[in-house]
Structure 1
Amino acid sequence: MKKSRTTTLNLHLRNERELRGWTRSYVAEKLGLADPKTVGRWERGVSSPNAYFRQKLCGLFEKTAQDLGLLQPMVDIQHEQGVDSPSAIQNQNTPPAIPTSFLYDPATPSIAAGTVKIIGSEKWLQHLKSLLCSSRHPTYISLHGLPGVGKTTLAIELAHDHEIQTHFHDGVLWARVGPKPDIMGLLSRWGTLVGLPAALMNNLTTCEDWIEAIRTAINTRRILFIIDDVWKIEDALNFKIGGPNCAHLITTRFPDVALQFSPGESILLPELNIDDGLALLACFVPDLVAAELPATRKLVQLVGGLPLALTIMGKYLQRQAYSGQPRRVETALERLYNTEERLQLKELQSSLERSPSLPAETPLSLQAVIGASDNQLENDARNTLYALSIFPAKPNSFSEQAALAVGDTSTETLDTLIDAGLLESYGPGRYTLHQTIVDYAKTQQKDRRVEERLVTYMLNYIQRHEMNYDVLQLENANILTAMEIAYEMQMQEELVQISCAIAPFLYMRGSDTLAEEHLTRAYVTAMAHRDNRGVIKTLLHLGEIMRKRGEYRQTEAYLQDGLNLARQLEDTKLINILLERLSAIILAIVIELQGNYVQAETYYLEELTLARQHHLHGQISRLLTDLGVLTGQQGNYTQAEAYLKEALAIVRQQDLRETETTTFAALGWVVAEQGNYQQAEAYLQEGLMLARQIRNRERYVSLLWALGMTEIDQGNYAQAKTHLQEGLELARQLTHRELISELLLKLGRVATDQGDYTQAETYLQEGLSVTRRIGHNKLIGDLLQHLSIVAAKRGKDAQVDAYIQEGLTVARQVGHRELLCTLLLQLGERAIVQEDYNQAEEHLQTALSIARQISHRKRISMVLACLSMQAIKCGNYGQAKIYLADGLTLARQLNLPHLICTLLYHKGECQLKQQQSSAAAANFREMLSSSPKGCQELIASARYGLARVAALQKNFAEAQQQGHSSLSLFEKIGHHSSNEVRSWLDTLPPLTNHIIEQQHLNSVGML
């Protein structure tokens, strides 16, 4: 039989429900109750909601537990088998009931008053729970961070967390502090909650009295104290009153307060990343986030992932989207893109939700929340904060020196802003500001002198560190900001100086479009003010950008204009001479790229003499490097290496790391051309490491290109392809068309050597298309020459002739001797195929003469290989042996596997013609073992040679085997030689059992 008990009607709960016109079913649905009768039991006083449902009721009605009459003594309801029993609650997937002795603080904000849910702070919630629920007590924890970062929201979640309430089974007490707290009032409320007798409380007159009385009443009870929005450490310490089993958590925007309260457990709550910020917005407008991802992503970035800003914006967008009219949402988004609109967007709150930092009549907004901190600052600190907002926001940072100069302030003031939680430390000697702080401060900043100070400081900074790109990288965004300000404020002289000083850094790092934009503005400004030196400087850098893009005609136009203007100046100071000479240097580079080595070398040597006279180490090293490349291209590797080693010694001594990467690339190439691949790779790898360190992507690509060339020469095609494809991807990002073409040419070479002629042609045709647009004649000729090789291997004679003739026209127009030599070599090979041996001899002898004139040993060896083939065809075997001996000597000196194998093939051919089967076999076998892995053409050719040796020795089974193996490879890669091999196989006698048996006996006898 049930025990009888006294019940008390809860008229507060019923009246609040009826006042809103809500039914019990409606309330039950909102609370997640299966049975509406449960609400009736609560109203009749038959049972009381546990802590979980008390919290949900407070959130639903937006009233305190006291307002709803939920704080009467708990009754024994275990005998009821309704939804209020622990088993029934668990069946509804709700947490088990908190012990009936749990002390509930009605001042605790409800979860509904906070954010929809904790987004991006789950790990911090778990971390805080693990700290609070540890066996170590008393516990003191501080949670600090920017205004609006979600500290209070996280604290609210903790207060209502089931594990926290279970661990702190005696209750959770909450104090809303703010800048001007009523300490006595908050302590007296806590005193009432912990059960202090009224008579005792009437005699408590000081904070110390209240603290002592509350601590005594708590005794060994286990309670969590949450002190929210603390502004002064004295206030936090007044609430540090728990006993040995208690824990204290404060939230504060001031890192100094947090550190003083809990030195060992001071936790900085960061803002949200992009993904978490989008997830938070999606809690309010999921369809909008899904449909307008770029627009909503921009919103997250505009507020730096600050949860308060995202929540206010999310609720605003939710209201605008409710009508279903896209027009309203579009207008709302445009409004939110405006800084002042975002700052002033307001949200009304109930008294329980309102931040203690804000006056009672002030709606919640970013402007109000950040302004609360601003209002506490002294004038010096406030003006410094406003001044520092000129720097771009986080993740950008700025140095302490820049902050002091721009803010016209002291380190003590910076420390004040750090302690106020408005300025953030970003490592030793560097600071940063959150986006919302910058936005707020910019709306207050009115002093135009701040902008002038930034421009002046950054100009001096660039001039001090002009060649130290790592140092410039630290202030890159701040320098760009200074340039924009100089342009807007019409600071003509400063604009030109900054634009020209920072231009090399920008285009060396791949930001040539940005550099061009600023240089063009500086050029127009200099022209308008008749600043001739400024015009010349901007033209120099614009010419360099055009050169990197391969737009040589525009390059020449810029530099000729600069030269003409420099010559018109009557001032004979050294700066004018150097400007003229620097213009000439860049102009020489253009001429060199068009293949006019002699004229280019004249420029370089003239400039080198002048640079040595004036001890211009940077210019000397660059000129020596350029001369090294130039002489190397002419095949004079000894002189090239001497130039480059002198350049390397200078750049190392002067720490000119940008030039050093160029020198490494050139040295690696020159040494590789001489066959010293190990040393070449050492230079190139060191250059790559340095290019990574200084973040020079253009140099990095050039070094990858050089490494790829080295691997090709060694026959390491897989590794070569890896380097070249990585370089091509980066070159495309840089839109560096000359490098793109060079890389496509080398990738075409790899594909050709591997027998993938279709892919080779794809690479080469793309390279030709790019190169035609930039007018790089040398590259056009190289690509045409290689396309002719691919066409020849596929047996497309008409295409071969067309490519060669166009290439010859280009080579003769620019007088590029190496290109002319290569194309004449190609013509000689074509004449041999067509059996026009006299014409072949003429072309090849001319090519050999040119190769020897430019001392290009690789080209000499290639021509000798082709001349040997022509001599063999004419039956002049003695002359062929001379050509082959000289060619092989050079090829072995240069350590070029592909060329060595080609010469071995011709040597074997010569010996076959002379019936020297054993010697021929030895050469073909060496060729087979030396062929680069994956070079199907060479392998197929070697097997064809071995097949013919076997046939000469009457070993027809071996001949058939090697011949078919060769045919299979030639057919696989689509090589025209497959026709020749197939025809030759048809001439072999058919294999009979007698022949096979006889050949087996012959082979056994040989063993």
Structure 2
Amino acid sequence: MGSQLHGSSSRLKVERELRGWSQQYVAEQIGADRYYLSRWEHGKTLPSPYYREKLCALFGKNARELGFLSRSEQSPASASEEEAPSETMAVAPPRSDVAIIDPTIPPLPGPAHDLVGRQELLDHLKTRLRAGSPSTMMALSGLPGVGKTALATALAHDEEVRAFFQGGILWAAVGRQPDVPGILSRWGTLLGISSIEAAGLTTLSAWTQAIRTAIGTRHVLIIIDDAWALEDVVAFQIGGTGCAYLVTTRFPQLASHAAADDALVVPELSSADSMILLERLVPLVVSSEQAAAGEIAQLVGGLPLALLLTGNFLRVQTYNRQPRRVRQAIERLRTAEMRLHLREAQPLSQRSPSLVDVPAISLHTLIAVSDQQLDQEARAALYALSVFPPKPNTFSEEAALAVCGCSVDILDALSDAGLLESYAPDRYALHQTIADYASLQRGDPAPVALLIHYMTDYVHANEEDYPRLELESANVLTALRLADEHGQSADLVAAGNIFAAFLSVRGAYTEAISLLERVRRAASDLGDQQGLGTALSQLGEIEMSQGEYQRAYDHLQEGLTLTSSRHDPMLSSQLLRMLGCVESYQGAYHEAESHLRQALELARQTGNEELQSLVLRSSGAVANDLGKVAEGERLLREGLTLARRIGKPEQICPLLVNLNQVTMMRGRFAEADKLAREALDIAIQINYLPAQCLLYSHMGVAAMEQGQYEQARAALLQGLALARQLEHPEYLIGLLCNLGRLMWKQGDISMAETYLQEAQTKARTIEFPWLQAGVLYEWGELYLQQQRLQEARAALDESYRLSAPDSPEGAALARYVQSRVAAALNDPDLARRYGAESLALLQSMEEHYRTAEVQQWLAMLA
């Protein structure tokens, strides 16, 4: 056999030398390695039919003339004696026009597990891979369980992808300890490399060259799944210029290194897509327990694997359709340990290359694989970082280093491992499942104390820097909650009162009240009367804004009782100021004036300009409500001067709002507009939502009074959206009334009634006479427009009763419309009397913008 091979194959060498060609030249012409040409010429092996055809075309000779036929091919008789071809013959490779589909490509899951929320990413991958650029390399990175392999599998089965990659698709399941020679050998078999040739391929370099040669110029997609090292990615980059590559890895740094700008992060599913996936898995649960299903989707952070595991768990629990059992299952899923240890058996063909020896997969085992690759310092840092709330929250690098007590190199290592997500600039986040896993591993209490200490100092250092407080808001709230749970009461009181004031400016009233209740308990336990009094003052202010006047009054009186036994003019002034505001909202204006005078006197004693500015603002607002417009404006301007001097935007803004209201009442709309614009700029800058809401209301009224109806509507609707978001009853009722008035002015009676009905329903839930009077006044105007005179009279009589004697503006406007109703009812004497009363009230308020209108009405009646 050996002499026959040597004799025949030497003809190839003779023909080459006759033409003066080198082995290298011939190898390049047929797309083979020189190594193979040498073996063919020395008779060690015969070329495969694929290369045989190439050589015959190059030399212009047939296979017999080049000595490529085996004995069986040369002699039919001898072939009959041997039922099998000679062992020297190579297995025929697939034709170049037949696609090779790697049998190890994972099968597609069932319809219930179809990819959800990935179509856009899938389309992008298809477009980029089929772009036709030489050796396109793409990489997908993301959290364990986010669906990287599922995306790669979907691509491998996609008909358009298979049609483009006519040479086929090869799959390499890599994992932590890849069998590179085994994968290359399997690929070689698929590509038609004979066993004899394979026996001579003793190095990875030889295998690489052999497979590259076998692929040739064919378009082949090579998928490298679950890569853990760049060396493994490079080992499988063995195709020609017609090949494209897709790498999946849990390591973002590896993806970036391998694919540069074509490295993509696979995100978690959105809330909507998470619910779609859950509905496919457990439609009964989603339909009957939609809120709980949404909570579960949030608890697993939109991670597809976690949704599949929880969905399958719930499906098993719903087989007998017992609601009790479903609710029990949902309750169990609210614990992180339960979610992390849910397990599901997987067939070998679908297992991760990193978990081939693990028959059942869970979030815990999947994350633990990454955890085990960390050194001890990085692992401790990961566990410590779990004290921060998970995504979408982020935390600063400075805070992370303070809590972990580590170097930035450790944070980089966690980021490179795909366990810590990096946000620019200098911010990080933990996914919910990673945070759950890490918190269960954390045994050291030190990170909790370090977080509390860091965030307490942060709040004190940034007390007046609202954008910086906003940035760390979730982390501060977490630290204060932990301070309460771990008995660090002094930190809770010191930072809690400061942060509650910030939350109140943001309109986050529910969070502020919850925090202040904890501060109140902690201050009581410590005997900290200053901290307790401050908490009570803030509680009263927030409850007042929510229409809870009696609760606010009780808290403020409790605070004043505290201060009666100790000389604390600053705290006493704060409490008296808020008590006066609450009393004014309840219509007790004279008591309000008395308490505000005391508050201002105490504030001036302290010399604290910030406190004086606050009290002047409240005093000015109450004076304005009582019709003492000139006095109110004077007090407000004094307060504004102080606020500007100390540079407190959160105090400058509301003072500008109050002054805007005063100038509007006086009909100085150009000046009012200037004040409103300055105030709105500040409110937007510091995200002062309540102020923004009130300003939009004022700007809408000003535009409406000037006949600019579309501008008025836009402003009022913007304010209404904010009022609903803040759940601020006073602002909500005022905006609904203003919109009702705008609608009837534009002739849309039906919409006017809708707005006013909602305002009336809301006004009935709070004890605020002025607001109720305002709603009834708007109804009276609307009824008059509709000539429903008796209804108008009844509404306006009640509006006047609620306004007089402490709200002269409300009483004056009610009397004015009552006069018009009386005229419509043919009672001129009553019309003149009501008109005269209205005018007298308006004139007492000094320059009210509707005074001239009432004067004209009376002149017409005369």
Q: Which residue of 1 aligns with 2:846?
A: 855
Asked if 1:735 is matched to 2:727, the reply is yes
Q: Which residue of 1 aligns with 2:208?
A: 211
Q: How does 1:616-655 map to 2 (within 5 A)?
A: 616-633=608-625, 644=636, 647-648=639-640, 651=643, 655=647
Deviation of 1:377 after TM superposition, in Å, equals 0.7
Q: Secondary structure at the match of 1:568?
A: coil
CA RMSD of aligned residues (A): 3.9
Task: State the one-letter code of the partner of 2:706.
Answer: Q
**Is the alpha carbon distance of 1:319 and 1:830 closer, same or farther for their aligned partners in structure 2, counting shifts above 3 Å?**
closer
Q: Which residue of 2 aligns with 1:303?
A: 300
Offset from partner CA, 1:523-569 (integer Å, 9 cap, x none): 23433443322321221111101211233333222212212211213
**Is the alpha carbon distance of 1:208 and 1:651 closer, same or farther for their aligned partners in structure 2, counting shifts above 3 Å?**
farther
Offset from partner CA, 1:712-736 (integer Å, 9 cap, x none): 4324456545544553454344332
**Is the alpha carbon distance of 1:248 and 1:615 closer, same or farther for their aligned partners in structure 2, counting shifts above 3 Å?**
farther
**Is the alpha carbon distance of 1:827 and 1:382 closer, same or farther for their aligned partners in structure 2, counting shifts above 3 Å?**
same
**Is the alpha carbon distance of 1:426 and 1:791 closer, same or farther for their aligned partners in structure 2, counting shifts above 3 Å?**
same
Aligned counterparts of 2:283 and 2:755: Cα–Cα separation in 1 = 46
Q: Which residue of 1 aligns with 2:366?
A: 369
Q: How does 1:289-328 map to 2 (within 5 A)?
A: 289-290=286-287, 292-321=289-318
Asked if 1:677 is matched to 2:665, the reply is no
Q: Secondary structure at the match of 2:353?
A: coil
Aligned counterparts of 1:107 and 1:762: Cα–Cα separation in 2 = 65
Task: State the one-letter code of the partner of 1:855.
Answer: E
Query: CA contact under 8 A between 1:406 and 1:453: conserved in structure 2?
Result: yes
**Is the alpha carbon distance of 1:552 and 1:123 closer, same or farther for their aligned partners in structure 2, counting shifts above 3 Å?**
closer
Q: Which residue of 2 aligns with 1:475?
A: 472
Query: CA contact under 8 A between 1:634 and 1:856: conserved in structure 2?
Result: no
Query: CA contact under 8 A between 2:274 and 2:302: conserved in structure 1?
Result: yes
Task: State the one-letter code of the partner of 1:774.
Answer: I
**Is the alpha carbon distance of 1:498 and 1:839 closer, same or farther for their aligned partners in structure 2, counting shifts above 3 Å?**
same
Q: Secondary structure at the match of 1:387?
A: helix
Offset from partner CA, 1:206-235 (integer Å, 9 cap, x none): 434433444444444443222211111122
**Is the alpha carbon distance of 1:831 and 1:240 closer, same or farther for their aligned partners in structure 2, counting shifts above 3 Å?**
closer
Asked if 1:351 is matched to 2:348, the reply is yes
Q: Which residue of 1 aligns with 2:706?
A: 714
Q: Which residue of 2 aligns with 1:702?
A: 694
**Is the alpha carbon distance of 1:856 and 1:413 closer, same or farther for their aligned partners in structure 2, counting shifts above 3 Å?**
same
Q: How does 1:385-400 map to 2 (within 5 A)?
A: 385-400=382-397
Q: Which residue of 1 aligns with 2:232?
A: 235
Deviation of 1:577 after TM superposition, in Å, equals 2.3
Aligned counterparts of 2:755 and 2:215: Cα–Cα separation in 1 = 81
Query: CA contact under 8 A between 2:569 and 2:606: conserved in structure 1?
Result: no
**Is the alpha carbon distance of 1:554 and 1:360 closer, same or farther for their aligned partners in structure 2, counting shifts above 3 Å?**
closer
Q: Secondary structure at the match of 1:173?
A: strand
Deviation of 1:451 after TM superposition, in Å, equals 1.9
Aligned counterparts of 2:725 and 2:252: Cα–Cα separation in 1 = 42
Aligned counterparts of 1:350 and 1:754: Cα–Cα separation in 2 = 69
Q: How does 1:508-547 map to 2 (within 5 A)?
A: 508-547=505-544
Q: Secondary structure at the match of 1:111?
A: coil
Q: Which residue of 1 aligns with 2:577?
A: 585
Deviation of 1:131 after TM superposition, in Å, equals 2.3
Offset from partner CA, 1:119-154 (integer Å, 9 cap, x none): 222222222222222221122221111111111122
Q: Which residue of 2 aligns with 1:457?
A: 454
Aligned counterparts of 1:119 and 1:845: Cα–Cα separation in 2 = 71
Q: Which residue of 2 aligns with 1:657?
A: 649
Q: Secondary structure at the match of 2:347?
A: coil
**Is the alpha carbon distance of 1:345 and 1:852 closer, same or farther for their aligned partners in structure 2, counting shifts above 3 Å?**
closer
**Is the alpha carbon distance of 1:861 and 1:634 closer, same or farther for their aligned partners in structure 2, counting shifts above 3 Å?**
farther
Q: Which residue of 2 aligns with 1:141?
A: 138
Deviation of 1:179 after TM superposition, in Å, equals 1.2
Q: Secondary structure at the match of 2:344?
A: coil
Query: CA contact under 8 A between 1:634 and 1:855: conserved in structure 2?
Result: no
Structure 2 residue corresponding to 1:777, chosen from 766, 769, 786: 769
Offset from partner CA, 1:44-103 (integer Å, 9 cap, x none): xxxxxxxxxxxxxxxxxxxxxxxxxxxx98999xxxxxxxxxxxxxxxxxxxxx976433
Q: Secondary structure at the match of 1:251?
A: strand
Asked if 1:177 is matched to 2:199, the reply is no
Aligned counterparts of 1:577 and 1:555: Cα–Cα separation in 2 = 20
Q: Which residue of 2 aligns with 1:105?
A: 102
Aligned counterparts of 2:387 and 2:258: Cα–Cα separation in 1 = 34
Q: How does 1:567-578 map to 2 (within 5 A)?
A: 567-569=564-566, 572=567, 576-578=568-570
Query: CA contact under 8 A between 2:112 and 2:281: conserved in structure 1?
Result: no
Identity %: 38
Q: Which residue of 1 aligns with 2:49?
A: none
Asked if 1:250 is matched to 2:247, the reply is yes
Deviation of 1:364 after TM superposition, in Å, equals 1.4
Deviation of 1:754 after TM superposition, in Å, equals 6.3
Task: State the one-letter code of the partner of 2:582.
Answer: V
Aligned counterparts of 1:386 and 1:420: Cα–Cα separation in 2 = 14
Q: Which residue of 1 aligns with 2:679?
A: 687
**Is the alpha carbon distance of 1:770 and 1:369 closer, same or farther for their aligned partners in structure 2, counting shifts above 3 Å?**
closer
Task: State the one-letter code of the partner of 2:427.
Answer: R
Q: Secondary structure at the match of 1:148?
A: coil
Q: TM-score, normalised by structure 2?
A: 0.79
Deviation of 1:370 after TM superposition, in Å, equals 0.7
Aligned counterparts of 1:597 and 1:748: Cα–Cα separation in 2 = 28
Q: Secondary structure at the match of 2:224?
A: strand
Deviates more, 1:330-339 or 1:476-485: 330-339
Task: State the one-letter code of the partner of 1:588.
Answer: G
Q: Secondary structure at the match of 1:585?
A: helix
Gap runs ≥5 in structure 2: 1-89
Q: Which residue of 2 aligns with 1:563?
A: 560
Task: State the one-letter code of the partner of 1:464.
Answer: A
Query: CA contact under 8 A between 1:635 and 1:857: conserved in structure 2?
Result: no
Query: CA contact under 8 A between 2:162 and 2:168: conserved in structure 1?
Result: yes
**Is the alpha carbon distance of 1:578 and 1:338 closer, same or farther for their aligned partners in structure 2, counting shifts above 3 Å?**
same
Deviation of 1:827 after TM superposition, in Å, equals 7.6
Deviation of 1:582 after TM superposition, in Å, equals 0.9
Asked if 1:443 is matched to 2:435, the reply is no
Query: CA contact under 8 A between 1:114 and 1:156: conserved in structure 2?
Result: no
Aligned counterparts of 2:299 and 2:780: Cα–Cα separation in 1 = 55
Aligned counterparts of 1:330 and 1:196: Cα–Cα separation in 2 = 59
Q: Secondary structure at the match of 1:543?
A: helix
Deviation of 1:774 after TM superposition, in Å, equals 3.2
**Is the alpha carbon distance of 1:590 and 1:316 closer, same or farther for their aligned partners in structure 2, counting shifts above 3 Å?**
closer
Q: How does 1:594-993 map to 2 (within 5 A)?
A: 616-633=608-625, 644=636, 647-648=639-640, 651=643, 655-717=647-709, 719-747=711-739, 749-750=741-742, 767=759, 770-771=762-763, 773-783=765-775, 810=802, 815-819=806-810, 851-858=842-849, 860-861=851-852, 864-865=855-856, 868-869=858-859, 906=860
Structure 2 residue corresponding to 1:342, chosen from 339, 355, 358: 339
Q: Secondary structure at the match of 1:245?
A: coil
Q: Which residue of 2 aligns with 1:891?
A: none
**Is the alpha carbon distance of 1:327 and 1:562 closer, same or farther for their aligned partners in structure 2, counting shifts above 3 Å?**
closer
Asked if 1:164 is matched to 2:155, the reply is no
Deviates more, 1:152-161 or 1:257-266: 152-161
**Is the alpha carbon distance of 1:255 and 1:754 closer, same or farther for their aligned partners in structure 2, counting shifts above 3 Å?**
closer
Task: State the one-letter code of the partner of 1:468.
Answer: D
Aligned counterparts of 2:301 and 2:744: Cα–Cα separation in 1 = 52
Query: CA contact under 8 A between 1:688 and 1:700: conserved in structure 2?
Result: yes
Aligned counterparts of 1:743 and 1:102: Cα–Cα separation in 2 = 68
